[in-house]
Amino acid sequence: MSDTSSTALQLQSAIELLQQGKIQQARNSFQHLCSLAPNVTHAWFGLAYACSHLNDFVASISAIEKVLEKEPKNVKALIFKADQLVYNQQERSALAFYEGALQLTEGQQNLPDEIVRGLQRGLALREKHDNQYSNYLLEALQKKGYQRGKISRRFDEALDISFGKKEIFLQQPTRFYFPGLPQRAFFERDEFPWLSELEAKTPQMKAELEAMLGGKEQFSPYLDSGNNEPNFAKHLDIVDNLNWSAAYLWRYGKLDESITRQCPITMQALKSAPLPFIAGQTPVALFSKLKAGVKIPPHHGLLNTRLICHLPIIVPKDCGGLRVGNQTREWEEGKALIFDDSIEHEAWNNSNEERVVLLFDIWRPELTEDEQRLITDMLVAVDEYPDL
């Protein structure tokens, strides 16, 4: 009989002893086999099981470590070791092995029930540990004077991210990324000296808009299936219809005279903003209308070299809001929201009436004049690239 056949028979005999409840005999058999054939991981696994049943924690851990030395991605062994650590009140150490098993099985389907139950134990321990850790840290900070919402919104968000309650959202423009710009979702109104003059004209701009809305339909779908914008939501009800619509003052750097002649005050107000002038591309300025009950799904803008401004003109009560990254703000008539649309964002109108904002883009304030010129030249050159 070959050595391989002999090893297989001894392994089967030891497994049968384990199944029959003859635990000490099984342990002896597995130990003997491990000494004869140290590369047979099944023997070490059997020894780990037998030692576990005999409450020999040290020997059980030692045996399962032999398995993991040879097969570090053995999910079953990772769960076994984690379970042993939990049983012996070493939960923090156990969590690392559960996490390893969870990472290795992420996205996998039709896993054995034994593995699924082990992963569920891991998830439960993760949640327990996260709650204990977050409660401890908050209590420690509060003893030192920390008050959520009172000192630093950025620190509040950092805590939420560290506790796993929020994600990290970074700039991910779909067309052009400029490095080194601060990762900020929203900018504050008082950072822009020109803004107060523009906001002060909100009542007059509202009057111009309402006169437009009172006549024939002058809005068109913001997203249509034939344009060059990414139809990130083509399966939803905002493409090729007026649920989300626009009346353009500036559209890709061109004035729409049919709209602008009805809105002289709005056009005059926009002169105070640092609009980017890039032939065939910007400025973009429009009245953006979102009908009642409509949601714009999460998406990213084209560039991180601009900021988007929303000046709310018509805002129903309990309208909804705008989420950029982890921050959500509500529209308030006459008070602009300025944000980086290269960070994932979404908007919704939960009211029973339509919401309208004046939407326009501006240069990011961190860019120098030379950088603005270089970006302008580059984007124009890209636009002029011939189709072959």
Neighbouring C-alpha atoms within 13 Å toward the C-beta of 270: 26
Q: Where in the chain is the domain with CATH 2.60.120.330?
A: 186-384
The stretch 345-359 carries a mean pLDDT of 96
Neighbouring C-alpha atoms within 13 Å toward the C-beta of 241: 9
Pair 294, 244: CB distance under 8 Å: yes
- Report pLDDT for 230: 46
165: confidence class by pLDDT, cuts 50, 70, 90: confident
Neighbouring C-alpha atoms within 13 Å toward the C-beta of 284: 17
- Report pLDDT for 234: 53
Pair 185, 339: CB distance under 8 Å: yes
- Report pLDDT for 227: 55
Kindly state the tokens that stand for 139.
Answer: 């209590």
- Please state which CATH number belongs to domain 186-384: 2.60.120.330
Host H or E run for residue 243: none
**331 versus 134: which is more confidently predicted?**
331
**343 versus 10: which is more confidently predicted?**
343
Q: Where in the chain is the domain with CATH 1.25.40.10?
A: 2-128
Q: Which residues pair with 254 in a beta bridge?
A: 251
Domain spanning 2-128: CATH 3.30.1490.20? no
- Report pLDDT for 1: 44
Give one DSSP letter per residue of 319-382, joined into a string.
-EEEEETTEEE--BTTB-EEE-TTS-EEEEE-SSS-EEEEEEEEE-TTS-HHHHHHHHHHHHHH
Pair 221, 241: CB distance under 8 Å: yes
Nearest to 122 by CA among 144, 103, 145: 103
Pair 96, 78: CB distance under 8 Å: no
- Report pLDDT for 231: 47
Helices (H), the chain: 3-19, 23-36, 41-53, 57-70, 75-87, 91-105, 113-143, 153-162, 195-200, 202-213, 257-260, 264-270, 369-384
Pairwise CA distance, residues 204 & 318, whole Å = 24
Give the pLDDT confidence of 291-326 residue by residue, as tens digits.
999 999 999 999 999 999 999 999 999 998 999 999
- Report pLDDT for 226: 63
348: confidence class by pLDDT, cuts 50, 70, 90: very high
257: confidence class by pLDDT, cuts 50, 70, 90: very high
Pairwise CA distance, residues 250 & 87, whole Å = 67
Give the pLDDT confidence of 197-207 residue by residue, as tens digits.
999 999 999 99
Give the pLDDT confidence of 89-131 residue by residue, as tens digits.
999 899 999 999 999 999 898 999 999 999 999 999 999 988 8
- Report pLDDT for 137: 86
Q: Is the pLDDT of residue 368 over 70?
A: yes
The stretch 174-200 carries a mean pLDDT of 95
Q: Is the pLDDT of residue 236 over 80?
A: no
- Report pLDDT for 295: 93
Give the pLDDT confidence of 166-182 residue by residue, as tens digits.
899 999 999 999 999 99
First vs last C-alpha separation in the chain: 72
Pairwise CA distance, residues 44 & 40, whole Å = 7
Percent of the chain with pLDDT over 90: 69
The stretch 6-26 carries a mean pLDDT of 88
Q: Is the pLDDT of residue 158 over 90?
A: no
The stretch 332-347 carries a mean pLDDT of 97
With H, G, I as helix, E, B as strand and everything else as coil, classify residue 54: coil
